[in-house]
Chains A and B, each alone.
Chain A
C-alpha cells in the first residue's frame, strides 16, 4: 500500500475514533451513545483493514469481518436491546458539571498525548505515530466509567476502553494478532451479554439502573 495513503487513512480513522469518544462524553442520550459506539466499531474495523493490508496479512478480511460484526453490529445491538427493555433513553443527570466532564476529558487526552509520544519512539511510522490516540481512547473509556451513573453507559464506557486497547494493540504491533483479538472480542461479547441481562434484572428489581445507589451487599 502507498505509504502516503496509509498515513492518511490511519490519521482519518484515529480522528474518527477520538471524535466519537469525545461525542460520547459530550452527549446525554443513550441511544445516540450506542450509535456512536457502532460508528467507533466500524472505524476500528477500518483500522484493522488498513493495518492488515499494509502489513500484507493473509487473514485480514476475516479479522476485519469479525471486528466489524462484533464491535459495530452485535454488541451495540445487544446493548440497544437492553436499553429498550428497561425503557431508558437518557443518561441520569450527574452532580458534576458537564463542562467539567468535558474539560476533564480534554485533560486526559492531553495526558495521553504527552505520555504516548515518547512510547511511540523516535521517528515512528504512521501507525505508531497515532498511538497516543489509542491511549486517549483508553483514558476516555475510564473517564466514562467514572462519570456515568447508568449501568448502560457504564457498558458504553467499558466498550470504549476495550476499543482503545484494541486500537493500541493494532497500532503498536503493526500486524494482526488474530488469536488475541478473537479471544478478547469473545470475552467482551460474553461480558456485555451477561451485563445486559443483569441490567434488565436490576431494572426489574429496583426500578432504576443507577449504579451510584448500589452500595449494599445482599444475599
Chain B
C-alpha cells in the first residue's frame, strides 16, 4: 500500500517535471530542423509561469464550466499519469490502471475541453469542439482494440500487468499482433494529442485549428491549466506507448534504485520518442479535415487485424 502510494507520487512528480521539458525538446528540435534558433528547452516552463501570473477574464452570463473545465482537464491528466505505468508497474490496490478506466479518465478530460469550447460562445470554440469530438469518437475503437490486442497474451486488461508481462517475455514484442497494435497506438497518440498530421499545435490559422480553437477564449491561469493539462496528456499517452513498445528497465517495485533506473529510462525513452515525433512533423503537412477519418479508419483496421491475428493465428 505504502509502496503503491510512493510509486503514484513518483509518477506524478516525474510527469510534472518532464512534461515541459518534453514540449521544449519537441519545439527545439522542430525549430532547429527548420533553421530557427527556437525558445530553448525551458521555454514551456517560462510560458506556464507567465500565464499563472495573469488574470483570467469572465464573460457576463457565463457558467461555472468556464472556471472548472480547465481544472478538470488538469485533474484528469494527473489521474492519467498516476494510473499509467510510466516508471514502475506497481499499481494502487483498488485502482489498477485498467484499460477502460484509463480511457474513461482520458475522455473526461476531453469532454471538459469540448465543453469549454462550446462555452466560449463563438464560432471557433464550437468548431474546435465539434472536430475534436469527431476525432475522439473515431479514435475510440482503435484505442480499445489495440490495447485489447496487447492484453490478450497477458490475459488481463490492466495496463500495469500488460507492461510487466511484456517486459518479462520479450518474445511478444515483435510478433505481428504487437507490431500492428503499436502502429495503431501511435496514430492514436497523434490524434488524441492533436499533433501533425491531425492537428497543428502551433497553428494560428483559425480555420484549421482544432485544439487551439477550443482554448481561444481562455487566458491567464485558465489557459495555463489547459496548456499544462494537454501537455500532460501527451506525456501520459506517449509514455504508455513507449513502455508498451520497449518495456525495458521499467521498475516493478518501489525500491529507490529501481525507481531511479526506471525514471531515467522513461525520461530517455520519452525524450527520444518526442524528438522523433517532432522530427517527423517537420516533413509532413496537416491532413485535410475529411482525410483524417481515413487515417483513423486505417489505424482501426490495424488494431482489428491485430486482435484477430492474436485469436486466429498466433
A touches B (Cβ under 8 A):
yes
A-to-B contact residues, CB < 8 Å: 4, 8, 11-12, 14-16, 18-19, 22, 26, 98-99, 102-103, 105-106, 109-110, 113-114, 116-117, 129-130, 132-133
Does B256 make an interface contact (CB < 8 A)?
no
Q: Given A113-B313, A130-B313 in contact, is the A26-B176 Cβ separation under 8 Å?
A: no
CA distance A132 to B309 in the complex (A): 9
Q: Which residues of B contact A11 (CB under 8 A)?
A: 174-176, 314
> In the complex the two chains form, is A133's CB within 8 Å of B313's CB?
yes
Chain B positions 146-162 with a Cβ under 8 Å from a chain A Cβ: none
Does B304 make an interface contact (CB < 8 A)?
yes
Q: Which residues of A contact B302 (CB under 8 A)?
A: 19, 22
Residue of B nearest to A12 (CB): B174
CA distance A132 to B313 in the complex (A): 7
Does B201 make an interface contact (CB < 8 A)?
no
CA distance A12 to B172 in the complex (A): 10
Does B41 make an interface contact (CB < 8 A)?
no
> In the complex the two chains form, is B301's CB within 8 Å of A106's CB?
yes
CA distance A18 to B313 in the complex (A): 13
Does B171 make an interface contact (CB < 8 A)?
yes
> In the complex the two chains form, is A19's CB within 8 Å of B174's CB?
no
Q: A47 → chain B, closest Cβ, in Å?
A: 13
Does B202 make an interface contact (CB < 8 A)?
no
Interface-forming stretch among B44-52, B81-89, B291-299?
B291-299
Contacts across chains A and B counted by CB atoms under 8 Å:
76
Q: Given A11-B314, A129-B313 in contact, is the A102-B298 Cβ separation under 8 Å?
A: yes
> In the complex the two chains form, is B179's CB within 8 Å of A99's CB?
no
Does B75 make an interface contact (CB < 8 A)?
no
The 7 closest A-B pairs by CB, nearest first: A15-B176, A11-B175, A99-B297, A113-B312, A26-B298, A15-B179, A12-B174
Q: Known pairs A15-B175, A105-B301. 11 more at Cβ < 8 A? A: A8-B175, A11-B174, A11-B176, A11-B314, A15-B180, A18-B309, A98-B297, A106-B305, A109-B305, A113-B309, A114-B312
CA distance A130 to B176 in the complex (A): 10
Q: Given A99-B293, A109-B308 in contact, is the A15-B301 Cβ separation under 8 Å?
A: no
The residue from B171, B304, B308 contacting A8, defined by CB atoms under 8 A apart: B171
Q: Given A102-B298, A113-B309 in contact, is the A15-B174 Cβ separation under 8 Å?
A: yes
> In the complex the two chains form, is A98's CB within 8 Å of B294's CB?
yes
> In the complex the two chains form, is B179's CB within 8 Å of A16's CB?
yes
Q: Which residues of A contact B314 (CB under 8 A)?
A: 11, 129-130
Chain B positions 267-314 with a Cβ under 8 Å from a chain A Cβ: 293-294, 297-298, 300-302, 304-305, 308-309, 312-314
Q: B283 → chain A, closest Cβ, in Å?
A: 12
Q: 21 pairs across A/B with beta carbons < 8 Å?
A: A11-B176, A11-B314, A12-B175, A15-B175, A15-B177, A15-B178, A15-B180, A16-B179, A18-B180, A18-B305, A19-B180, A22-B298, A22-B301, A22-B305, A26-B298, A98-B294, A105-B301, A106-B301, A110-B308, A113-B313, A130-B313
Q: B148 → chain A, closest Cβ, in Å?
A: 15
B-to-A contact residues, CB < 8 Å: 171, 174-180, 183, 293-294, 297-298, 300-302, 304-305, 308-309, 312-314
Q: B294 → chain A, closest Cβ, in Å?
A: 4
Residue of A nearest to B179 (CB): A15
Q: B313 → chain A, closest Cβ, in Å?
A: 5
Residue of B nearest to A14 (CB): B176
Q: Which residues of B contact A110 (CB under 8 A)?
A: 305, 308
Residue of A nearest to B298 (CB): A26
> In the complex the two chains form, is B312's CB within 8 Å of A117's CB?
yes
> In the complex the two chains form, is A8's CB within 8 Å of B301's CB?
no
> In the complex the two chains form, is A113's CB within 8 Å of B308's CB?
yes
CA distance A102 to B300 in the complex (A): 9
Residue of A nearest to B177 (CB): A15
> In the complex the two chains form, is B313's CB within 8 Å of A19's CB?
no
Q: Which of A11, A16, A129 has the most CB of B within 10 A?
A: A11
Q: Which residues of B contact A12 (CB under 8 A)?
A: 174-176, 179
Q: A167 → chain B, closest Cβ, in Å?
A: 13
Q: B239 → chain A, closest Cβ, in Å?
A: 24
> In the complex the two chains form, is B174's CB within 8 Å of A8's CB?
yes
Q: Which residues of B contact A16 (CB under 8 A)?
A: 179
Q: A171 → chain B, closest Cβ, in Å?
A: 12
